[in-house]
Amino acid sequence: MDEDKVLKILEAFKKLRILVVGDIILDRYIFGRVERISPEAPVPVVEVEREEFRLGGAGNVANNLSSLGVKTYLLGVVGQDYGRHIIKGLLRESNIEDLTVEDPNRPTTEKTRIVALSQQLLRIDFEDKKVIEGNVLRRLLEGLDLELDGVIVSDYAKGVVCKELMDRIREKGVFFSVDPRPQNKSLYIKANLMTPNEKEAKSMLSQEDSLQEMGWKLKRELKLNTLIITLGPRGIALFDRDFKIFPARAKQVYDVSGAGDTVVALLTACALSGLDWDVACEFANVCAGIVVSKLGTATVKPEEILQSLEEGCRV
């Protein structure tokens, strides 16, 4: 694939309207330096130098789409706390349509990571994983009433993805893809695309099988149109009409956080743009290779894709 074809794909992305629905996470990074051990306990003392906030979970999927020109909507649940204000600000900065629903009875899901010397020392999670219900669920379902080309379900098992939500998405009759969690396996029946990693795929089955056996069995059991299993440094496995593995394109793996978000975003956009799965998998591989070279949840920009082509990372 040459530069002209990549530019045509990116231009096609600009015509898409995609809704991302699922668990929105506020990723907070506290960066500092460590020069001593605490006299109070055998732990390092981190002297804070700066902090960053990023869109995580379903927010990172939406951010990956928007960064490549897709008209993107984000639907999920936030609390009535300071976290919601940060998320709303990040959505405005990223040109993502904000369809978030506030729940006064739960906090905004937040993952705080302490980083020093480019290493994560600790992660602190603030979350409530109860399944949403009542008025919050009703408002969430109302948020699906949009004219769309497709829907991405980003499930981090924090309570947003439930039977009522998935039933309503299927009723819409549009292309929908799922980045799954094994415990919610039964909710994903008849998805157009599902993108588990290898560990998640294994957890969805009751016995150990080879990769091919596992993939075909999962595709058949959930009546999926297409199954794509991400294999980390080994690449991507496609189960459509045939089985095929696409080797990874990463030159340097720094942090795999959020790589699955990038893959499901790119594969969905490619499918909705009419690309065949071979091209879609190669394109997603290139983009995933770019984001794993960055620290934390990250997006890929058009100029980075074009630079990868120049450097010989051909799609």
**Nearest residue to 219 (alpha-carbon basis) of 194, 244, 198:** 194
- Is the overall model pTM greater than 0.85, yes or no? yes
Q: What is the mean pLDDT of residues 156-178?
A: 97
- Residue pair 291/265 in contact (Cβ under 8 Å)? The answer is no
Question: Catalytic residues, which ones?
Answer: 261
- 101-157 pLDDT, tens per residue? 999 999 999 999 999 988 899 999 999 999 999 999 999 999 999 999 999 999 999
Cα 178 to Cα 42, 56, 152, 246, 297, distances in angstroms: 43, 16, 6, 20, 19
> Which domains are present in the chain?
3-25+56-108+128-310 (3.40.1190.20)
Query: Which residues, 6 or more positions from 199, have their beta carbon under 8 angstroms from its beta carbon?
Result: none
Question: Which pLDDT does position 236 carry in this prediction?
Answer: 92
Report the C-alpha gap between 211 and 193 in whole angstroms. 18
Q: Which of the residue ranges 2-16, 74-88, 128-142, 290-304 would you say has the lowest mean pLDDT?
A: 290-304
- Residue pair 160/74 in contact (Cβ under 8 Å)? The answer is no
Q: Are strands 17-22 and 71-75 parallel, antiparallel or unpaired?
A: parallel
Question: Which pLDDT does position 155 carry in this prediction?
Answer: 97
